[in-house]
Structure 1
């Protein structure tokens, strides 16, 4: 039987332990000004995880609920809620909501129950 060198064995063990955490970057979506921003929601994550909007103005989010629970999308900055898509349930349903945003860095979260604390949040940049 062939033995693996200790470093190769350690690398394999560490590779098997990684992944799945909330600190993973996720997908980034870049959109032109005025274009709808498609976001999917499920327990307990958004896709994309990062959104970049080309210029300031109204940002129209189209939230598709792909989970079994109610979800919303709330844009926040420094803990203040700025607007978004109201909570709704229904797997496969889509609902829209617009927020007027100047250039800056924001977060978007699901404010339903403890969804945000469970990792349902993302980053939003308006250029």
Structure 2
């Protein structure tokens, strides 16, 4: 695959990948991929990630069914990061929000505020 030849993975064999909603341009999440995750993502057109906490490959939405269908792929000038423009099914964040970036920090008041609406109830989706 020509893309893999252009990428530079870090010392742990990973590359940071930004997942962006193609419909509204919102950053949905930042994940890490190894070569296998990049390959499976390209082959299936569904985002696969390397879960560092579990030391394993998984498809995004494995537990929830909220997959991300790849529409466009970009990589930076040095080949050390990726952007995937996706069609998001339901929501990207396991906490129930469309984006994992649902909190905003306000330096002047040193406060944090939730600035997105919940899309789904994680307790129902993940059977907690």
Q: TM-score, normalised by structure 2?
A: 0.23
Task: Kindly indicate which of the two structures has a greater share of residues assigned to helix.
Answer: 2
Which is greater in Rg? Answer: 1
Task: Kindly indicate which of the two structures has a greater share of residues assigned to strand.
Answer: 1
Greater RCO between the two (CA within 8 Å, min separation 6)?
1
